[in-house]
Structure 1
Amino acid sequence: MAETIVLYPSPGMGHVISMVELGKFILRHHPSFSIIIIIAPPSFNTGSTTTYIRHISATVPSITFHQLPTISVDLNSFSSMEAVIFEVLHRSDPHVRRALETITLSNTVSAFIIDFFCSSSHKIAAEFKIPTYYFITSGACVFSFFLYFPFLHNSTTQSFKDMNTLFHIPGIPPFPTSDMIPLLLDRDSTEYRDLLKFSLDLPNSAGIIINTFESLEIRSLQTIREGKCNPYGNTPPVFTVGPLLDSGGRSTSTAVTADCLNWLDKQPNKSVVYLCFGSLGLFTVAQMKEIAIGLERSGLRFLWVVRSPPTEDNSKRFLPPPEPDLDLILPAGFLDRTKDRGLVVKSWGPQVAVLNHESVGGFVTHCGWNSVLEAVCAGVPMVAWPLYAEQKFNRQVMVEDMKVALRLAEGENGFVVAKEVERGVRELIESEKGEEVRKVVQKMSEEASAAMSDGGSSVAALGRLVESWRRC
């Protein structure tokens, strides 16, 4: 029977893409395997995966997809998108069991690789005596926190939101309570419960696969491997297989890509600040006006991807925002006054192509891990402006350990005034401090390329991972 690896991502587009790239990386270096990816259809729009999956199926025949039935839930009864995902995937467990039963009839399954959202399926793989590995789509810094999380949980009975302290987590620079992952602020929330279960399950897995590379997160990886992040005992083996980035297949707008690249072609080398905050990074109108004023006052060239502000209609909170009306969002006359040095793009921009363009000199980012890796690979220094999820953790490591980003000063509720936007982008492009960050990130870019080359650290880690499958 065929030797097969089964992957099970969260239904979000970014998580699916990362899993597909992991599958392609395995096949590139170990083509005797086949890859089956179990897909749980999302219960809300996280970015349509249908076209993407169709393209991968047509172009990478060694990767096949097993679609699970749709799970219907009342979205209005959930406090967050993450709560919906955990519930949908938990309810999908019977379908996952049937899928594995079907797959094992005609395949020898060497490993079951799951996203952290899918932790309830770990016990199912155990029923089939299939070793389970977690794939961490964030960095090693976040993994080190989750290993330590049960100890943190047991050390207090308070919710983090009620504390005012500085956390000292092994492998991570100290961070204040205000930088805690928002889903964990309330000890009584379902999200807290589900993430605690995931953390408790981590040491029971066969191994941890992380989308990072050795020289990018030296401190976190060393601390993890020394066992300091899990005071209770076992730390599974860790395999760094990154940077794994979208290598094509996602539906893109050819017209928008052409407009962006044609405009960038006319700009001087390393002169443009690129601003983009991820598919879920939405700002209020007041905040967008501050960004616009700051960019205008800076005098710098910029390419800014603008999305509509978050909806006030609770029934539409899980739907993608409509195309933005720039005349309503931006200050009057802003587009005319900056038309010779700025380009504003609605909703989406070709980020990888933009970051790799020679005219781009800096990136204002929400610190999503995929965006961080894309900037590092392109050798582009960053200004860190985290908005949600684990992004404040990422900022701490990007600024303090990696030295690939500069920090913005935030006010109440994360609000950043125009003067601080202006200061941040000018420091990145024009100052000696910005130049120091540029030199570091360019060196990291070379090391990222080396890690993914034959004989590199990530290829070697994949080799050790494959060996662990064959020993099971």
Structure 2
Amino acid sequence: MQMEKTVVLYPGLAVSHFVPMMRLAGALIEHGYAVSVALIDPTAPDATFSAVVASTAASMPSVRFHTLPLVEDPPTLIPGAQFIVSYFDLVHRYNDRLHDFLGSFTRVHAVVVDSMSATAFGVTKRLGIPGYLLFTSSAASLAAFAQLPYVLAEGGGTSFKELGDTPVELFGLPPIPASHLFGELLEDPESDTYKSTMAVLSRIPDSGDGILVNTFESLEARAVAALGDPRCLPAGRVMPPVYCLGPFLGGIGEPKERHDCLAWLDVQPDRSVVLLCFGSTGVANHSEEQLREIAAGLENSGHRFLWVVRAPHGDDPDLDALLPDGFLNRTGGRGLVVKQWAPQAEVLRHSATGAFVTHCGWNSVLEGVTAGVPMLCWPLHSEQKMNRLHMVGEMGVAMEMVGWQQGLVQAGEVERKVRLVMESEEGGKLGARVAAHKEAAAAAWDDGGSSRAAFARFLSDVEGRQAPARTGEGA
């Protein structure tokens, strides 16, 4: 009897990292692989993450979920600047648990590791199992991250923080203002946060046997070409094979009942509604002052809107207290305010949605592109500022909400940009460019498409790296 082909996935402890990994699981199952998921304690990050894991496990019965046994005295994830240090410490502490889990299989064809858990490659190498990194952001971010450890050493300055808005020159990418790099690199170079981050970035060329990226070639042609060019890294350093397998889309763990906001959209005219949604976790919620500016801008724009609101400190939002007096009554005929969460992907695919105000998280960018919805950029944290550069620049799928860098986008700017994207000739051209990318995204997974071909190369590479089966109990 032929032994089933098993891939083990090792996702990161964040919704934005977990969801693409589970969408990869769906693609692997469709191609005849058995998929097991190894999880570090899902309750470690927050209740939101554990709820997403639970709902996903319930909705994907063909995937085997296994929570690794708790380590003794596990480190606590510390919010703020120390988060990344505590996160890497937590992942490192679980390497022995992962080793035992992988060792229980007769054969594992491959292990796919989240980009934040690359320390696990020490385990896969010891066991002789092919290991691949899943990079959940853009190809441009991957190209930047791979090069950043070498920039300052080549005379780029003493620290990224001191460079301010000075552009950082990277091969194959447009100049990136140093202020747009993710926050951990703008810390003191002597801090644990900076050192840990730089150590992880410097190990990207050693990321197992290949890197899977959630993008498609035509969306980021220049960055994808750079990743395959020897000039991307200093002499002696070589990138492993990069497979652009995106976009990873489709619902996982979504409620069976249809959200009320979709019924509201059903009765709105086509392409008439502006969606405002700023991520799955509320890591950087807007201040009360900012919420009031958004409200005033939406009201003055005259356009329909669907706005997902979170309280500044993560509590259940009291909309009457947070928003201007009478706002909900005055806009009730053309606007809908939803607390905490809405099914963003479904809303974007709805025919009534005409624009998307987004924090520029990569999953959201891909959902906007594949729905053909033009975007307004409002980055909040992580690599979102870098994404904004590419969205407005080379991709041409978005405009920028000016003021985010100063910490407050004024009501007048909200009104202007909503009107611009919804009413103007420039907004029409933006929509046409996004529509072209939507078609290209669909074509990437069609027969002969770039992502389908890359996925076939990845599976062929996995098959070509197989070692003889070991004696084991299976799992």
Name the SS of the counterpart of 2:341 in structure 1: coil
Cα pair 2:23 2:252 within 8 Å, conserved? no
Does residue 240 (structure 1) correspond to residue 239 (structure 2)? The answer is no
Name the SS of the counterpart of 2:81 in structure 1: coil
Q: Distance in 2 between matches of 1:77 and 1:329?
A: 25
- Deviations along 1:18-66, one digit per CA (max 9) or x if unpaired, are 11111211221x21x21111111242306243564465466442x2122
Residues 433 and 287 of structure 1, relative CA distance in 2, 3 Å threshold: same
Q: Distance in 1 between matches of 2:131 and 2:60?
A: 27
Match of 1:315 in 2: none
Deviation at 1:215, TM superposition (A): 0.9
Greater displacement, 280-289 / 52-61? 52-61
Residues 417 and 454 of structure 1, relative CA distance in 2, 3 Å threshold: same
TM-score, L = length of structure 2: 0.90
Match of 1:128 in 2: 127
User: Alignment RMSD, CA only?
Assistant: 2.0
Deviation at 1:275, TM superposition (A): 0.3
Q: Distance in 2 between matches of 1:290 and 1:447?
A: 36
Q: Distance in 2 between matches of 1:14 and 1:261?
A: 23
Match of 2:353 in 1: 360
Match of 1:287 among 272, 286, 290: 290
Cα pair 1:207 1:239 within 8 Å, conserved? yes
Match of 2:433 in 1: 440
Cα pair 2:259 2:343 within 8 Å, conserved? no
Residues 277 and 68 of structure 1, relative CA distance in 2, 3 Å threshold: same
Cα pair 2:379 2:404 within 8 Å, conserved? no
1:245 maps to a residue whose letter is L
Q: Distance in 1 between matches of 2:247 and 2:360?
A: 15
Runs of 4+ with deviation above 6 angstroms: none
2:248 maps to a residue whose letter is L
- Deviations along 1:241-274, one digit per CA (max 9) or x if unpaired, are 111024232347x3xx442112112222111110
Name the SS of the counterpart of 1:352 in structure 2: helix
1:102 maps to a residue whose letter is S
Does residue 69 (structure 1) correspond to residue 69 (structure 2)? The answer is yes
Name the SS of the counterpart of 1:2 in structure 2: coil
Q: Distance in 1 between matches of 2:421 and 2:79?
A: 43
Q: Distance in 1 between matches of 2:46 and 2:320?
A: 27
Cα pair 1:308 1:323 within 8 Å, conserved? yes
Cα pair 1:57 1:64 within 8 Å, conserved? no
Percent identity, aligned pairs only, is 39
Q: Distance in 2 between matches of 1:78 and 1:448?
A: 35
Count the aligned residue pairs.
453
Deviation at 1:217, TM superposition (A): 0.6
- Deviations along 1:117-162, one digit per CA (max 9) or x if unpaired, are 1111111111011222111100101100111022124235623112
Deviation at 1:184, TM superposition (A): 1.1
Cα pair 2:56 2:252 within 8 Å, conserved? no
Does residue 277 (structure 1) correspond to residue 278 (structure 2)? The answer is yes
Cα pair 2:77 2:87 within 8 Å, conserved? no
Deviation at 1:91, TM superposition (A): 1.5
1:354 maps to a residue whose letter is V
Name the SS of the counterpart of 2:230 in structure 1: coil
* Unaligned runs of at least 5 residues, structure 2: 466-475
Residues 281 and 411 of structure 1, relative CA distance in 2, 3 Å threshold: closer
Residues 423 and 139 of structure 1, relative CA distance in 2, 3 Å threshold: same
1:146 maps to a residue whose letter is F
Match of 1:299 in 2: 302
Match of 2:224 in 1: 221
Name the SS of the counterpart of 1:65 in structure 2: strand
Q: Distance in 1 between matches of 2:192 and 2:29?
A: 37
Q: Distance in 1 between matches of 2:242 and 2:194?
A: 24
Match of 2:203 among 179, 201, 204: 201
Residues 102 and 209 of structure 1, relative CA distance in 2, 3 Å threshold: same
Cα pair 1:111 1:133 within 8 Å, conserved? yes
- Deviations along 1:378-419, one digit per CA (max 9) or x if unpaired, are 110000111000001111111101000011212653321111
1:190 maps to a residue whose letter is D
Cα pair 2:297 2:415 within 8 Å, conserved? yes
Does residue 401 (structure 1) correspond to residue 394 (structure 2)? The answer is yes
Q: Distance in 1 between matches of 2:200 and 2:94?
A: 17
Match of 1:210 in 2: 213
Name the SS of the counterpart of 2:48 in structure 1: coil
Residues 297 and 77 of structure 1, relative CA distance in 2, 3 Å threshold: closer
Match of 2:37 in 1: 37
After TM superposition, the structure 1 = structure 2 runs for residues 21-420 of structure 1, keeping only pairs within 5 Å, are 21-28=23-30, 30-31=31-32, 33-42=33-42, 43-45=44-46, 47-49=48-50, 52-53=53-54, 55-56=56-57, 59-61=60-62, 63-70=63-70, 72-75=74-77, 79-103=81-105, 106=106, 108-155=107-154, 158-164=158-164, 165-186=166-187, 187-204=189-206, 205-232=208-235, 233-251=237-255, 254=257, 257-278=258-279, 279=281, 280-310=283-313, 321-410=314-403, 413-420=406-413
2:315 maps to a residue whose letter is P
Residues 411 and 247 of structure 1, relative CA distance in 2, 3 Å threshold: closer
1:221 maps to a residue whose letter is V
2:45 maps to a residue whose letter is F
2:292 maps to a residue whose letter is K
Q: Distance in 2 between matches of 1:412 and 1:16?
A: 29
Name the SS of the counterpart of 2:197 in structure 1: helix
Q: Distance in 2 between matches of 1:301 and 1:471?
A: 54
1:385 maps to a residue whose letter is W
* Unaligned runs of at least 5 residues, structure 1: 311-320
Deviation at 1:170, TM superposition (A): 2.0
After TM superposition, the structure 1 = structure 2 runs for residues 451-470 of structure 1, keeping only pairs within 5 Å, are 451-470=444-463
Name the SS of the counterpart of 1:401 in structure 2: coil
Deviation at 1:80, TM superposition (A): 4.3
Deviation at 1:336, TM superposition (A): 1.1
Cα pair 2:131 2:210 within 8 Å, conserved? yes
Residues 372 and 411 of structure 1, relative CA distance in 2, 3 Å threshold: closer
Q: Distance in 2 between matches of 1:58 and 1:276?
A: 24
Cα pair 1:52 1:251 within 8 Å, conserved? no
Cα pair 1:4 1:110 within 8 Å, conserved? yes
Deviation at 1:75, TM superposition (A): 4.7
Match of 2:469 in 1: none
Greater displacement, 272-281 / 148-157? 148-157
Residues 411 and 379 of structure 1, relative CA distance in 2, 3 Å threshold: closer
